[in-house]
Amino acid sequence: MRQRVLKTVAAMVLALSPGSTVGAHTAAAGPSGSDGATFLTFTQLLRTCDFKSNLHADPSGVARTTALVHTTGSEVISDVVMVTAIPNTAYDVRVIQMPRSSATGCNPGDPGVTVGALITDDTGAGGLSIHSPIVSGATGAWMFITRPGEFTQTPAEYYTSDFVVPI
């Protein structure tokens, strides 16, 4: 079973990032048209839309998530891979462009927010590629992954990128 999951993850990473160059954790995204990519890891910090952490929320899940983020022309492209998540479950993935006021929302449809749905398979693995048009004045982007709560507006499970990627 473990070998099957590892092979699935390796295949998804290769399938989601053709031609991408994976840099170090702190590597900056390249300028428009660059082949470079930034490797993102995720943590269980519930963040506000301006990327500040909410210290009053407890960790919620066990998934391991990574992403490759790069720019091409006027787009931010985010290739997300999730493993060890709840099998056959839908997660909302948001790419949120910065700078952003704490009073500005980061919900689907808000300016500078692009959303996609990642659905895990029967092993709890899944992948998604999101193409986000770069909004005027944007200098960076971060990612927020959630599984909606059943009877609350607080997500049942959440993961946020460790830093804002320069764009």
pLDDT digits (tens, 9 = 90+) for 30-59: 333 345 899 999 999 889 999 998 766 777
Q: What tokens were used for 111?
A: 């300016």
Strand partners of residue 77: 70, 131
pLDDT single digits (tens) 91-133: 999 999 999 988 888 999 999 999 999 999 999 999 999 999 9
For 80-129, the DSSP string reads: EEEESS-TT-EEEEEEEEES--TTS--STTSTTEEEEEEE--TTS-EEEE
What mean pLDDT do residues 47-73 have?
Answer: 88
pTM of the model: 0.78
**What is the predicted pLDDT for the residue at 35?**
58
Q: Which two tokens stand for residue 23?
A: 């840099």
At residue 128, what is the residue type?
L
Cα dihedral sign for 29, 24, 17, 88? negative
Looking at residue 164, its pLDDT comes to 97
Over residues 17-38, mean pLDDT: 43
| Range of weakest confidence among 12-16, 93-97, 160-164 | 12-16
68 pLDDT more than 90: yes
The whole-number pLDDT of residue 77 equals 97
Chain Cα centroid distance, residue 141: 10
Q: Give the CA distances from residue 107 to residues 34, 112, 144, 149, 150, in Å, rounded to whole numbers and listed in that order.
A: 29, 10, 10, 15, 18
**Worst-scoring range by mean pLDDT, 3-12, 69-78, 151-160?**
3-12
